[in-house]
Chain A
Amino acid sequence: MSASRVVGVARAVASKDLRIEWRSRVMTNQVLPFAAIVMVLFAFALDNDGILQRVAPGLVWMATLFTSLVVVQRSFAVESADSAIDALRLAGVPSHGVYLGKVAALVAQLVVFEAVLAMLALILYRVNVDLHGAVLLVTTCVLGSVGIAALAAVYGGLSVAGRGRETLLPLLLLPAVAPVLIGATRATESAFGSDGARTVEGWPWVGLLAVFGAIFLFGGTLGFGPLTDE
């Protein structure tokens, strides 16, 4: 199985997924407004500028995590709606390519969500970010999304193979991505300067995110094929 073939498949799968999302508008018309209203509701519930500024990073990543569940379920619902997943399994398509394509499309969508959520935090919770903080924030979002997507695609693939397994996804995914939630929240705190955190303090957390993403991207590449091919 040549590497270029894997990359070709990954690109085809990723662009197909993104095109479907772009065309169906489920993300932009339903999931994004949901995420936005959650951010507004947090503000109502906490009702205190000081607290909001302090917990803003955690809220951004909690919202991201819950949104990721919806995004992953969508990503695999598209495959199972007309049994396209059977066709993919049948076509002798390298499963690494399918996995990496799925992960790439998930990362792209998650990064968009995180950008919107972070913007909302800036506006609604009056958080300030300088240039260094912005660089840290973007890196955090990309690496955090890779970690979430790498695991989510594996467990999402497990849930696509049979009915009634969708409910298993949160149970498997949420405890596993705890390190991402911790690392990304701390890094974002540094970027936002919440609670007096300094920007440079965020980079070690970015390292944690990178390690996490690398491990599970590797594991997922190996495990996705056997797991979805039953």
Chain B
Amino acid sequence: MKETSVVDVRDAVVLLGSFPALAEATLTIGRGELVVVQGANGAGKTTLLRLCAGLLPLARGTAHVMGHDVSSDRAAVRASVGFLGHANGLYLDLTAGENLSFWGDVVGASRPEVTSAAQRMGLNERLLSTQVGRLSAGQKRRTALAVLAVRRATLWLLDEPHAGLDAAGRDEIDALLRDAVGAGATVVVASHELERSASLATRRIEIVGGRIIESGGRK
């Protein structure tokens, strides 16, 4: 539970209202893995990611992220986690560049760090000076991923990052995720698209009825 595993969830039960979205789920993820979580809608993919991000309280069981207890030490968990849900977490009235520099200011990242994050996500001058509300879905996703990079997240939790993107946009996201893993991050992606995730993942797991079933082995 020290530095060996990035995510260590045991018998976790998470309730949404009175509904157990996670029903005694157990999962371990090691450093540098790119894990794809598959499952039908309502199986508990999003809940699993939000739990790992410290956004949901645990009703039973234990969950450690980066060695920190999710229920008692949420601040430490969150500082190292980047979560990208169905929403991008951007300010729509600000430009992409302003969003990035806001996050740079908030987390204390230097200007070169912000610039390099933008470059890695392929955000050029024109995109950076466009209001986020006017960007395409793919461009918004890229901006959001750049924010995660600015925040120096070491565990990336992405919920359906391909949703709403065309084929080129999806390939781009995949490339960015491989880059992130290459740069030392651990990535967990929730997806219900089988073929795409098969090519991307170093490991696949399946979630059914709020419980985790290991399916595809490690590559």
Say if the two chains contact directly (CB < 8 Å).
Answer: yes
* A residues whose Cβ falls under 8 Å from a Cβ of B: 5, 8-9, 11-13, 16, 19-20, 23-24, 78, 81-84, 86-93, 97, 229-230
Q: B94 and A83: CB pair below 8 A?
A: no
Q: Is the CB of B106 within 8 A of A13?
A: yes
* CB pair B91 A89 closer than 8 Å: no
Q: 11 pairs across A/B with beta carbons < 8 Å?
A: A12-B102, A16-B98, A16-B102, A19-B94, A20-B91, A20-B94, A83-B89, A86-B83, A87-B89, A90-B54, A90-B55
B31 at the A interface (CB under 8 A): no
Q: How far is the CB of B190 from chain A (nearest CB, A)?
A: 16
Complex Cα–Cα for A82 and B135 (A): 14
| Contact call A93/B55, Cβ cutoff below 8 A | no
Contact of A82 among B81, B83, B90, B106 (CB under 8 A): B90
Contact A12 B79 (CB under 8 A): no
Counting chain B residues whose Cβ lies within 8 A of the other chain, the interface size class is: 20 to 34
Chain B residues within 8 Å of A11, by CB: 105
Contacts of A13 in B (CB 8 A): 106
The answer for the CA separation of A8 and B109 in the assembled complex, in Å, is 12
Residues in A neighbouring B107, C-beta threshold 8 A: 91-93
Does A92 lie within 8 Å of B91, measured CB to CB?
Answer: no
B192 interface residue (CB < 8 Å to A): no
Contact assessment for B75 and A19 in the assembled complex, using a CB-CB cutoff below 8 Å = no
**Quick one: given A12-B102, A89-B55, are A84 and B90 in contact (CB under 8 Å)?**
yes
Assuming A90-B78, A92-B78, is B89 touching A8 (CB within 8 A)?
A: no
Q: Does B85 contact A (CB under 8 A)?
A: yes
Q: Is the CB of B83 within 8 A of A78?
A: no
Residues of A contacting B: mostly: helix
- A84 and B98 alpha carbons, distance in the complex (Å): 14
Binding site for A on B (CB under 8 A): 53-55, 57, 74-76, 78-83, 85, 87-94, 98, 102-103, 105-108, 131, 147, 151
Is there an interface contact between B106 and A90, defined as CB atoms closer than 8 Å? no
With A87-B147, A89-B78, A90-B54 in contact, do A5 and B93 touch (Cβ < 8 Å)? no
Residue of B nearest to A26 (CB): B93
Residue of B whose beta carbon sits closest to that of A24: B93
Residues A83 and B98 in contact in the complex (CB < 8 Å), given A78-B93, A91-B151: no
User: Smallest Cβ distance from B180 to chain A, in angstroms?
Assistant: 17
Chain B residues with CB under 8 A of A82: 87-92
Cβ A8 vs Cβ B90 within 8 A: no
User: Closest chain B residue to A78 by CB distance?
Assistant: B91
Report the Cα distance A25→B106, complex, angstroms.
Answer: 25
Report Cα–Cα, A192/B107, bound state, in Å: 46
Q: Are B82 and A90 in contact (CB under 8 A)?
A: yes
5 nearest CB pairs, A to B: A92-B79, A87-B89, A83-B87, A12-B105, A20-B93
